[in-house]
Amino acid sequence: MLPTLEKGDLVYINYDGVSYTYKVEEMFEVMPTDLQVLDQDASDSFITLVTCVPPGDPRKPKRLVVRARVVPPDEKAVTNGIN
């Protein structure tokens, strides 16, 4: 499913009874050894999702990285069409 996402798409995560909404900011491919893409900036609120690509290739030579930033509650209302 990750390869079908596009910049600007929303990702919904439910964790420990709390719902979070994230907006995709960037997507790129890296080699499996490029682990620095997993570094997290504790002063920022984003998730990094990773999957093997290309789909259907048993070698899975690359990783697709999707970075999405949390959508603040006030922006969620606008995103969902609520004013």
Tens digit of pLDDT for each residue in 36-52?
Answer: 999 988 888 999 999 99
Domains of the chain (ranges; CATH) run 2-76 (2.40.260.10)
Output Rg (C-alpha) for the chain, integer angstroms: 14
Taking 50 as the pLDDT cut, the residues of the chain under it are: 82-83
Question: What 3-state class would DSSP assign to 2?
Answer: helix
Enter the pTM of the model. Answer: 0.81
Whole-angstrom CA distances from 26 to 2, 16, 37, 57, 83 are: 12, 26, 12, 23, 27
